[in-house]
Amino acid sequence: MNSSNRNNVTRARSVGALLLAGALVAGCGGRSSSPPAKSAQTIAPITAAEKAEVVEAREQRDAQRSWCNYLSALYLRAAEGAKAWPRYEQCIEVTTTASPKMLKRTAECSLTALQQFKGDPFTAEYAAQVSRCGADAIEAMVVTQSELAPFVATICGRMSTCGNVGYAECREGLEEGLGPHLERAIGAINTRGRAQLRACLKGAACDELGAQITSCLEPLMEGLLWLPG
């Protein structure tokens, strides 16, 4: 091979080596490049129901604290020399079935009654006076038709399934008879209590259904107010 041909081969090899090196560099650069960033996950907006739950939880804690303040005042009134009620912290952690409005109304009324009462509050006289606070609070509770409707539907649906009475007849009779009492009871209990009531009504046996409706309500109404055992 003459010198001219050897020079051409050398240049060709050099060019080939440069092209190969360039390809390798490009390839490595492509593999080392960062993958495209993933788009941030879309956070679902808070629903109206969730907002309502947050508001009720806050109101529930505030109402329970008001009730505990009353119980604390009652304890300090009776325990001479005491500076604090030892069960206050336990009390404020309790969540009963009472609706916030009913609980706060009862607490404020009870505290006012205690402050106005002269003498020993652990008497029948004071008990009769303060018991009216709970009764008046329940009496004042009202619910909308949309709040009442699910319970009417559950009761009448159950009665219709049992064959006791037709749905339309049940609804008419319930709204005229038990309706006002059921309305006040539902108004007195909170969302958790209402869920428990509906679950109990759905599972009621067909025998003596009216008595079972009452038995579903009784434990919820008895659990409206927390008292230290």
- Give residue limits of the domains in the chain: 50-140, 145-222
42 or 156, higher pLDDT: 156
Distances (CA, A) of 132 to 125, 127, 184: 12, 9, 15
Side chain identity at 200, as an amino acid letter?
Answer: C
Collect all residues with Cβ–Cβ distance below 8 Å to 147 and sequence separation of at least 6.
Answer: 186
Please give the Cα distance from 18 to 224 (Å, whole number): 86
Collect all residues with Cβ–Cβ distance below 8 Å to 157 and sequence separation of at least 6.
Answer: 167
Kindly state the DSSP code that residue 34 receives in the 8-state scheme: P
Residue 38 predicted with pLDDT over 70 = no
Please give the Cα distance from 227 to 67 (Å, whole number): 10
Please give the Cα distance from 61 to 57 (Å, whole number): 6
pLDDT of residue 49: 78
User: Which tokens is 186 given?
Assistant: 């539902």
Kindly state the DSSP code that residue 165 receives in the 8-state scheme: S
> Residue 60: which pLDDT band, with cuts at 50, 70 and 90?
very high
Lowest mean pLDDT, pick from 46-55, 85-94, 121-130: 46-55
Residue 72 predicted with pLDDT over 60 = yes
Residue 29 phi/psi, 5-degree rounding, is -65, -40
Lowest mean pLDDT, pick from 13-27, 72-86, 191-205, 209-223: 13-27
Q: Which of 62, 103, 97, 101 is nearest to 190 (CA)?
A: 97
**Please, what is the average pLDDT of the chain?**
82
pLDDT digits over 97-116, tens only? 999 999 999 999 999 999 99
Residue 28 predicted with pLDDT over 50 = no
- On whether the CB atoms of residues 148 and 179 are closer than 8 A, the answer is yes
Distances (CA, A) of 193 to 38, 76, 102, 127: 44, 31, 13, 26
pLDDT of residue 37: 56
Range of 29-38, 40-49, 134-143 with top mean pLDDT: 134-143
Residue 5 predicted with pLDDT over 60 = no
> Residue 27: which pLDDT band, with cuts at 50, 70 and 90?
very low
> Residue 40: which pLDDT band, with cuts at 50, 70 and 90?
low
pLDDT of residue 175: 74
pLDDT of residue 164: 76
pLDDT of residue 39: 53
Please give the Cα distance from 99 to 177 (Å, whole number): 24
Residue 65's region, left for phi above 0, alpha for psi from -120 to 50, else beta, is alpha
Collect all residues with Cβ–Cβ distance below 8 Å to 107 and sequence separation of at least 6.
Answer: 63, 66, 67, 69, 70
pLDDT of residue 41: 67
pLDDT digits over 170-227, tens only? 888 877 777 778 889 999 999 999 999 999 998 888 887 778 888 999 999 999 999 9
Please give the Cα distance from 194 to 146 (Å, whole number): 13
pTM: 0.75
